Each structure stands twice: as C-alpha cells, then as structure tokens.
Amino acid sequence: MAEKKSLGKEFTKGLIKENPVLRLVLGTCPTLAVTTSVTNAIGMGIAATIVLVCSNIVISALRKVIPSKVRIPAFIVVIASFVTIVQMLVKAFVPALDTALGAFLPLIVVNCIILGRAEAYASKNSIIYSAVDGLGMGVGFTAALCLMGTFREVLGAGTFLAGIQDLLVLFGDNVLGGWNGFDFNGALEFAGLQPITLFILPAGGFFVFGILMAVANKIADGMGKPKAVLGCASCPMAAHCTSKKEDSKCNKKEADAV
Amino acid sequence: MKKLTVSASPHVRSSFTVPHIMLDVIIALIPALIASIVLFGFRSLLITAVCVVSCIAFEYISRKIMKRNTTISDLSAIVTGMLLAFNLPVTIPLWMCVIGCFFAIVVVKQFFGGIGQNFVNPAIGGRIVMLVSFSSAMTNWTAPLEWKNGLDAVSAATPLASLGIGSDMTGLPSLLEMFLGVRGGCIGETCAAALLLGFVYLLIRKVIKPIIPLCFVGTVAVIMLIAGKGSFEFMLYEVLSGGLLLGAIFMATDYATSPITSKGKVIFAIGCGIITAVIRLFANLPEGVSYAIIIMNILVPHIETITKPRPFGAEKEKKSKKEEAAS
C-alpha cells in the first residue's frame, strides 16, 4: 500500500464519519425492520458484526486467489457460510432472538454493508486492516441500530431494553436477577400520557432514521476537514462557465448537477 | 420630498397576498368554530386555542433554529392549527394536540421548506399521525349538546360507523340534524351548514375555485348513489357524515398541495372522491377522507406532469412524428 494507515483510524471511521447506516446509507432494510426494540437492535448488530469481521478476514485472505470476474459470487459464498453458522448458533443458544428477528437473520447474507465492505475494502487490503475495518463498521452499525431502537422503543412502546433476558440467556438463567428492562407505561399512565404508537410502525422508523441521518451529517461535517472545493480545471462546466473565477469559488452546485 | 424608488418588475401590487388569503380562510372557518362550541361545549374552543398557539410556537421555534426568517405573520400556522383542531374529537387530551401540531408544522411543513413547500396538507399530516398513534383517543366520540346538561361526556357512535349499505336508518339523526351538525364526530366537521357558509364566503372572496370541492363531493355522491342502489337518503347521509365537507372545502383546496390547472384539479378531486368512497365502503376504517386527500396530495406532482398545458401555437409531439413518418 502506498499510504500507511493507522489501525485506530480504520476502526473509528466506521463510528460516525463513514457510519454504514447513517452516512453510507447501507443496510437500510434491517435497520428499519428490527429497530422496534433495543434488544432486537443489539442482537441484529452483534450477529451482523460477527459475520462482517469473519467474512472480511476470509475475503481479505483470499483476495489474491479470487478472480475478479467471479468475485461477487465468491464473496456471497463466503458471507453465506458465516451467516449460516451464526444463524445456527443463534437458534441453538438464543432461540427467542431468532423468533424476533425472523427472516432478517438469514437476510444478513444480502446485507449491503457486508458485501459493500468486502468489495470496497477487504478485497483490496491486508487481513489485519480488513478485520479492524469490519469491526469498526459492525460497531457503527450496532450503535446506529441501538440509537434508533432507543428512540423508537421509548417513544413508541414506553419501554427500554424490554425482553433483554432473551439475550442475557446466553450467560445463564436469571442474570441480573431476572431484570427485564425498564417499563415506563405505569408512570406514563399516571401522568395521563401514553406512548406514540407511530414510532413502532415503519413510518415512525423513517422519521427517526431521517432525523438521525441529518444529525450524523452535521457532526461529520463538523469534525472532518473542510470540504475540498474543486478548482476550475476539474470542473466540467468550466468551458461554459460565465463567472470565470480563478479562485475556485464557482458555483459548485452547478457542477454537481451535471 | 418624496423619494423616487426605481425597482424591478412587478410594479403592480395586488392585495391578494398570503396573509390576506389566510385571513379569509380563518374568517371562513369562524362559523364552524362557533358551531363546534355550541355543539360540543367550550372545550372545543380550548382545543382550537391550544392547536393554534402550539402551531404558531412550533413555527416560530423551528424557523429560529433553522436560521430562517420568521413567517408567523403570514397566518398560515393559525389556519393549520384551526384545521387540525377541527379534525379532533372533543375529548382528545391536550398534550396529544401538541404532538399533532409538532408533526404538522415541524415535520410536514418546515422540514420541507416552509409555506408552499409542504408535500401534503400539514393539518391532515398531523391528523393521520395522531390517528395512527392514538387510535382509541382519536375515535372517542361524544354525543352533541350533552355538555349543557352538566354531563362530562356521553359517548356515542358517529353516524358513519353505524351507516352501512342496506342497514336501516332509524337509529340515525334526521337529515336536518345531520345538516345542522347535531351528531357525533370531530368538533369542526359536523355542522354542514357552517362549513357551507364558509365555502360561500371563500367563493365570493375568490380564494378558492369551486372545482375541487364540487368534484370531490360529487364523486362520493355518485358512487354512494350507485352503492346504495339509488337511495337518495343513503347518499345524503354519506355526504353529510364524516369529514367530507370539511376536507373537500378546506383541506383538498390547499394551494401548495393541489394541482394548478383546472384539468388537474378535476383529476385530483375525482381521485379523492373515489378513494374516500372505496375506503368507506370496503375498508376496515370508518372514515377515509383524510387518507384520500393525503394520497392524492402525494400524486399531485404526477398529475401536474400529465396535465401540463401546451404553449399557445405549439404542436403535439406525437402528431409531428406521425407526419414525419408519413412524409
């Protein structure tokens, strides 16, 4: 590689700057479908992260063996193997999560985040970087799902982490004294309020998704370097441009439109 | 000495401005407001006040946060607040009204750029969010005029819920009562007389054209006449019940979310009428006016494309192609 990258940066870019859900807009389908509760979001996030890291490692290791013409089927075979393994593990150890996620667990195979990272990153970088990239992306995915799940569950159902025992069953029965999440419905009823059902429905999911995307864009714009402004030389409108500003302050929107 | 101002066109200024139009709509809504107070008590005034105040507040706050100029003086937020309030039952908790106003103003209107940019009618957007979220509170109807007897609320079904094809209409209010609004329902939708008074006022002031309301109500009437096997009584009950008149007169005619051309308006209104009738006759929901208007609102850009008027003197594209082929 021409450029030396730091492992830390490869990891943290998945959190906000290149967050797969909020910035790259990948994996939208599971994002909207499973974020009705935080428990489901955590389960989905962890399952996808495991698949992502494992498939990134294997694809990166095989990157010189796989002919580029058949790379997509090859990636899918690798990803599908790991999804099958994860699905069997979930069915065996966390059966309640398997019921809750339903078809979305096997559908991780076609999750664009995983295929996207395989294509864009793992097939071009060394094993260790690919593993860190997968982990960062997976954590970013899980964090975004949890954030959405928090808003949707608290506002839409009046609970938080409800059914968490379904996940904690991994560590034995009655972990944390059988604590099964917060339930605000009693307090809400006392105050004469009730949850806003809309947020549990797909329409509410889109509202939360849109607002979180806007916030993530705002944060990422704030922490990144100022956007590179194209000079007139690289502008496709340069030949027809009437402003002829040499200091590259021409209307970039026009360039984008073309 | 008078200053000479040289400005670009337009030079002719008319008084037909946004605040004037909105003021006319508010005036047209006053009879329905008075009717709602008479029918359902002073709580309907309270609901209207809460909706109007929270709409104005949300408009002001969101414009401030988005660093845009304040637009509360164009009165559009007041109209949205009044229309949303008219779509609510009198028993609705006040905090739900505030949430409905938040969606109407912030999500539907300001997220999309403010007045003139909203993709659906804000009041209907707010109503549907409330209907989906708080379905039991939004369909908790009370009998009219009971508040005078000192009773808090006597629950009652709306005529629409008990109205079905072939069902007997003995338990329903008389048609005169329906016309005057003595029936269960949302606070502003029941009194047909007051709504029609507002309609006439808007027509005289030329704020709206009669095409959309007439086609909308006409389509529903025709379909109901056919569905009711020619029963005029059934048809009249259907036209006078639910939010049909309120929706057709005040909501479907919203400038930003209805087509510009007359042809487009006809398509839009007939579509609204068909969807309303289909939902009322076949769907599980009791009322379909708000869904009909919101669906057609979303289709308006497409209606505009197919009804784009031809510039004077321009030939039809297809024709010229045929001629080319012939020659």
**Model confidence at A198: pLDDT above 50:** yes
- Counting one residue from chain A and one from chain B, the pairs whose CB atoms sit within 8 A come to 18
Chain-centre distance for alpha carbon B261: 19
CATH code of the domain covering residue B47? 1.10.3430
| A191 touching B (Cβ < 8 Å) | no
Residue percentage of chain B with pLDDT more than 70: 88
Specify the pTM.
Answer: 0.80
pLDDT in the model for residue A58: 93
Q: What's residue B194's pLDDT?
A: 92
Q: How far apart are CA B145 and CA A141, in angstroms?
A: 56
Total number of domains in chain B? 1
Q: What is the mean pLDDT of chain A?
A: 81
* Mutation site, B119, B133, B295, interface A, largest A CB count within 10 A: B133
| B283 phi and psi angles, rounded to 5 deg | -85, 170
Window from A20-24, A172-176, A222-226 with minimum mean pLDDT: A222-226
Q: How far is CA B276 from the centre of its chain?
A: 13
- pLDDT for A87: 92
Nearest C-alpha in B relative to A191: B95
Its ipTM equals 0.74
pLDDT per residue as tens digits for the range B14-43: 777 888 899 999 999 999 999 999 888 888
Residue B68 lies in a domain: yes
Would you say residue B4 lies in a domain?
no
Q: Cα distance from A258 to chain B (closest Cα, Å)?
A: 23
Residue A254 has pLDDT above 70, yes or no: no
Q: Cα–Cα distance between B34 and A66 in angstroms, integer?
A: 77
Does residue B63 form part of some domain? yes
User: Is the pLDDT at B12 greater than 70, yes or no?
Assistant: yes
Q: How far is A45 from chain B (nearest CA, A)?
A: 28
Res. A236 pLDDT band, cuts 50 70 90: low
Q: What is the pLDDT of residues B79-131, one digit of tens each?
A: 999 999 999 998 899 999 999 999 999 989 998 888 888 889 999 999 999 98
Which of these ranges, A146-155, B230-239, B317-326, has the smallest mean pLDDT? B317-326
Query: Mutate which of A152, A189, A198, A201 to disrupt the B interface (most B C-beta within 10 Å)?
Result: A198
Chain A residues near residue B127 by CB distance under 8 angstroms: none
- Mean pLDDT to the nearest integer, B209-217: 93
Asked whether the beta carbons of residue A192 and residue B93 sit closer than 8 angstroms, the reply is: yes
Average pLDDT of the segment spanning B247-252: 92
What's the mean per-residue pLDDT of chain B? Answer: 85
Among candidates B129, B132, B134 on the partner chain, residue whose Cβ is nearest the Cβ of A194: B134
**What is the amino acid identity at position A140?**
G
- Whether the pLDDT of residue A178 is over 80: the answer is no
Type of residue numbered B253:
T
* Domain with B156 in it: 18-306
Residue B166: inside a domain, yes or no?
yes
Chain A residues in contact with B294 by the CB 8 A cut-off are: none
From A132-136, A141-145, A175-179, B173-177, the region with the lowest mean pLDDT: A175-179
Domain boundaries, chain A: 2-228
User: Do strands A159-160 and A182-183 pair parallel, antiparallel, or not at all (unpaired)?
Assistant: antiparallel
